[in-house]
Amino acid sequence: MNRMSHVLGQMSLEGKVAIVTGAGCGLGEAMALALAQAGADLVVVSRSSLEMEETAQNIERIGRKALAFRAEITDPGEVEEFVRQTVELFGKINILVNSVGIAITKPFEKMTLEEWHTVMETNLTSLFLCCKAVGPHMIAQKQGKIINLSAIEGKRGRADWVAYGASKAGVIQFTKALAVEWAKYNIQVNAIGLGAFRSEPAAGTLDEEKLDLIRREKIPMGREGRPEELGPLAVYLASSASDFVTGQTLFIDGGELVRL
């Protein structure tokens, strides 16, 4: 085996089973398709039946198995059910990608307690529930890869983004602590810190003028990220190439945090 084939072999997900939440569209879909292209079979979870069915069909066109589940990711019973069915059908879970996210942006004094809870439950409690359900299976097999989605707002202050920023900072710390706790089981827990992506939930709150301002003045590369640029990073974190990487948040932001 030459060096190149060895490197590519480390990135292969052949024989692996992955669950991707929020996989119906946008970045979740992009990561799910990338994992399939690397060889994984997928269970895609979304609130939208139509979107997740389309994602599953696209995965099957790649030549991988795909199952679609409609679930409310903040409901413990529904999370436990799609995890149970995944194990029943595939016999294992190697990879969990937590990509569900929501942003409610407004001045803090105008934010309601209900809105605060919505952001925290969607962005942070969902991680707790999914990891709680998947964890026993990964622990039993002594192997697992967990990928959480954070954002640059979890590392810096930004007006009108208090709830979102707090939730994404929580994701970073959740990732660190769980990585330490589950290292003894050979489970790697990492996060991806998103910058400005056109498909990222928070980006939908920005009008085109504000996006142009970000591109010109805040992002050294002068543009927002594209969903397909996220896939290779997800594959790396899901593969054996990252077996000695855990507790990390890898930022993909076109250099925006570097400029701070």
> CA-CA distances (angstroms) from residue 222 to 23, 26, 158, 187, 208?
28, 21, 20, 36, 14
Task: Please report the pLDDT score of residue 171 as a whole number.
Answer: 98
90 is written with which tokens?
């595939």
Active site residue 185: no
Nearest of 118, 210, 206, 131 to residue 166 by alpha carbon: 118
Nearest of 22, 51, 221 to residue 130 by alpha carbon: 22
Task: Please report the pLDDT score of residue 200 as a whole number.
Answer: 45
Task: Please report the pLDDT score of residue 140 as a whole number.
Answer: 98
Distance CA 102, CA 100 (A): 7
Distance CA 132, CA 67 (A): 21
Catalytic residue among 164, 197, 236, 251: 164
8 A C-beta contact, residue 252 and residue 229: yes
Task: Please report the pLDDT score of residue 215 as a whole number.
Answer: 66
Whether domain 10-252 has CATH 3.40.50.720: the reply is yes
Across 225-236, average pLDDT: 95
Q: Which residues of 49-64 are buried (b: 16+ CB within 10 A; e: fewer)?
A: eebbbbbbebbeebeb
Task: Please report the pLDDT score of residue 224 as a whole number.
Answer: 86
In this structure, which amino acid lies at residue 80? E
Residue 202 has pLDDT above 80, yes or no: no
Range of lowest pLDDT (8-12, 166-170, 213-217): 213-217
Contacts of 178-185 with C-beta under 8 Å, sequence gap 24+, read: 178/131, 178/146, 179/246, 179/247, 179/248, 180/247, 182/135, 182/138, 182/139, 182/144, 183/246, 185/138, 185/139, 185/142, 185/144
Domain boundaries, the chain: 10-252
Residue 211 has pLDDT above 70, yes or no: no
Read off the pLDDT band of 23 (50, 70, 90).
confident
Give residues with Cβ within 8 angstroms of 153, minimum separation 6. 161, 164, 165, 168, 202
Distance CA 9, CA 38 (A): 10
Read off the pLDDT band of 106 (50, 70, 90).
very high
